[in-house]
Amino acid sequence: MRRSTLRLASILLLAAAAAQINSVRAQAPAPHYRAYDSAGRPVTLGQIVESLAAADVLVFGEKHDDAVAHLIEAELLRRAEETYARPGAKGGARPFALSLEMFERDVQTVLDEYLAGLISERHFLLSSRPWKNYEADYRPLVEYARERGVPVIASNAPARYVSRVSAEGPDSLRALPAAARGWLPPLPFPSASAAYAEKFRGVMRASPHGPAAHGAAHILEAQTLRDASMADSVAGFLNRRGRGLVLHVNGAFHSEERLGVPEQIKHYRPGARVVVVTAVPEADFTKFDAARHGRLGDYVILTDPKAARPAP
């Protein structure tokens, strides 16, 4: 009886996941965004996916509260998986993974257990420290991956170690035990590029919540640890799986202008071909401003900030 009950519960869970995925597809936000290449020429999501034939990584930079961007991520995940990861794909099926800033590397085992059906979603959420907007914005990605057998990479550095670097500097990580350092990129991790450092300092100078407000002496190094961790996680999958393809999702600052994570990926996997997509909410999302948008990525998707978040 217990085995039958568990089997029924599993079937119901998969049915619920499929329903949510189909709901995402049905709510494709085409009227609420415009996609462009870096020169301002209109493109389609299909063309972005086609460009991945010659890429190893798609880095998608989002504003975390951008409802339209989250729907586009789900659509790109579906199209990329269908195009490149399934039997019969042109050139042969490629190893494919989803990578998320929203999970830290020390919960990878919990994430893997959930994807494999070894633990319930309740226990997964209790143990994985999901973001507050997980249910609405990132669960559709994880559930699609679970349904299709796509690995999900928990790529971010654990926040406790980021905080340690912010207060005490990168060298303080050397005091951690070996098991803890295993959740981090190899030490010492690369420094930020000059362009990234200048951009970051400019944002901090303009922010009322900058380093001085938090007493953080090494906030740039802490930010760079996050970038390096995500990049090392993505590169690690590619280094293990050969001609793979990774869709990585992070906050836009981590990747716009091809700075941050894309730079760090090249450190951990020289020669990696990275496509950067940056989603930007704009009141008039039909107008591409070359001066403001042109450098943000290989593709820039302007989204409607007034679009209603879909019902769960």
Percent of the chain with pLDDT over 70: 86
pLDDT of residue 8: 34
Burial 224-247 (b: 16+ CB within 10 A, else e): bbbbbbbbbbbbbbbeeeeebbbb
Q: Is the pLDDT of residue 311 over 70?
A: no
pLDDT of residue 179: 96
Q: pLDDT tens for residues 130-156?
A: 999 999 999 999 999 999 999 999 999
3-state helix, strand, coil in the chain (%, to 5): 55, 15, 30
Contact 57, 65 (CB under 8 A): no
Query: Cα(122)–Cα(239) distance, rounded to whole angstroms?
Result: 33
Query: Cα(280)–Cα(282) distance, rounded to whole angstroms?
Result: 6
Instruction: Record the tokens describing residue 266, joined without a space.
Output: 């090249």
Give the pTM.
0.88
Averaged pLDDT, 164-180: 97
Q: Which of 114-118, 173-177, 185-189, 238-242 has the lowest mean pLDDT?
A: 238-242
Averaged pLDDT, 260-277: 97
pLDDT of residue 217: 78
Contact 57, 248 (CB under 8 A): yes
pLDDT of residue 213: 43
pLDDT of residue 28: 47
Q: Is the pLDDT of residue 13 over 80?
A: no
Q: How confident is the model at residue 181 (pLDDT cuts 50, 70, 90)?
A: very high
Range list of β-strands (E), the chain: 33-37, 42-43, 57-62, 96-104, 152-156, 245-251, 274-281, 299-303
CATH 3.30.70.980 fits 2-32+45-282, yes or no: no
Q: pLDDT tens for residues 203-231?
A: 988 876 655 444 467 999 999 999 999 99
pLDDT of residue 308: 67
pLDDT of residue 309: 67
pLDDT of residue 67: 95
Q: pLDDT tens for residues 44-61?
A: 999 999 999 999 999 999
Query: Cα(72)–Cα(12) distance, rounded to whole angstroms?
Result: 26
H or E stretch at 75: helix 67-80
DSSP structure class, residue 87 = T
pLDDT of residue 98: 98
Percent of the chain with pLDDT over 90: 81
- Domains of the chain, residue spans: 2-32+45-282
Q: pLDDT tens for residues 246-265?
A: 999 999 999 999 999 999 99
Averaged pLDDT, 6-17: 41
Q: Is the pLDDT of residue 94 over 90?
A: yes
Mean pLDDT of the chain: 89
Contact 254, 100 (CB under 8 A): no
Q: Is the pLDDT of residue 17 over 60?
A: no
Q: Is the pLDDT of residue 23 over 60?
A: no
